[in-house]
Structure formats: structure tokens, C-alpha cells
Amino acid sequence: MIVTPIGDLARYRGLSAAMDAAISWLANGAWKSLPDGRHESAAAPGSGGKPLFYASLSGYNTKAEPDCRWETHRKHTDIQILLSGFEYVDVLPAAGMASVAPYDAEKDVEYYSVPETGTSRDEAPSPAVQRVLLAPGVAAIFFPEDAHRPCISAGGPGAVRKLVVKVADAEAAGSASEPG
């Protein structure tokens, strides 16, 4: 996980060609005038037409923590940026978490049960749980090994507008088969 001001995303160039393309796209600001929905980048060379990244713009209301789900993605790294509003995102290492449903390859998402102890705001947090406050101007990058629980209300449910850039993960792209 990386949390950084949007203006500092360029520091993370070099992680992969797809990440570099996504960071350049974010820096040029063209996304600011896009309507809600999914927007794909150009295809990666030798990818069979798969985009380097795609971006989704949407608005929604944050929820109480128990109503939010832990998730991971095998094929993509998320760059999440709030355009308006505030929300918390909890983050844990995915290793050792219990899946509650089979991995959905089409949506590239796997959901997990809430760890037994220390993940509620009413309890002392587990040392591994990190709570991140997303606000306009901040970017959070979640890698495939980062289980994250987005959409948590910050001080009560509220409306947010979010940009999520799904960057093709270099390690997943190089793997010949899907894990488990």
C-alpha cells in the first residue's frame, strides 16, 4: 500500500509500464472532464488487446464499517482517489485471510471475512490493520497482496465521488495460470 498526495505520484514511476502509463494519464488531468463510468487506456503491446489500465468514475454513499467488505484483486493494482467527500479504507495483508466466496476472474475480485479480532473501530485495532483516510488530493495504491475494505464512513455516512484506476499488474500479466 502507498498513500501519497496526487502530485507526488510521479515518484512511483518505474514499478511497471502500466503503472507509468496510469501515472502519466493522471498527471495530464484529462480524467477531470470524463463522465461517470469505465474508461479504458490503449492496449498494452503483445497483450491481445487488453488495456494497460482502466479508470472508473462513480459516486456513492459511504457505509458503516460492518457493511463494508474486505477485497483483493489478482490482476490489477488499484489507484483510488476521492474527488469529493471523505472515506476510510482499512488495509491488511491478504495472506492468511479467509475467502468467503470463490475468486471472480471476470470482475477480478475476491472477498474475505472480517478477521476475528481487532478490526472494529470499537476495538483496539490489530497491529496489522491500517486505517487510511481518503480525501480529495490524496491517492492510495493497493497492490494485489493488500486486502482492503473501502467505503467506510468518516463521521457518518456521506456522499463521495471517486476515481479508481485499475492498473494491469505486471506479475499477474507474466503468470501463466490463475492461483487457486
pLDDT per residue as tens, the chain (180 positions): 999 999 999 999 999 999 999 999 999 988 888 999 999 887 766 667 788 999 999 999 999 999 999 999 999 999 999 999 999 999 999 988 889 999 999 999 999 986 655 455 555 555 578 999 999 999 999 999 999 999 999 989 999 999 999 999 877 655 433 333
Within-domain flag for 121: no
Within-domain flag for 174: no
Within-domain flag for 13: yes
**Helix (H) / strand (E) containing 91:** strand 87-93
CA 148 to chain centre: 7
Residue 123 has a pLDDT of 54
- Report residue 171: phi and psi, to 5°: -70, -40
Within-domain flag for 122: no
Quote the number of domains for the chain.
1
Within-domain flag for 141: yes
pTM of the shown model: 0.86
The CATH number of the domain holding residue 1 is: 2.60.120.370
Neighbours of 91 (CB within 10 A): 20
Within-domain flag for 177: no
Within-domain flag for 119: no
Within-domain flag for 38: yes
Range of the domain at 138: 1-114+127-166
Report helix, strand or coil for 83.
strand
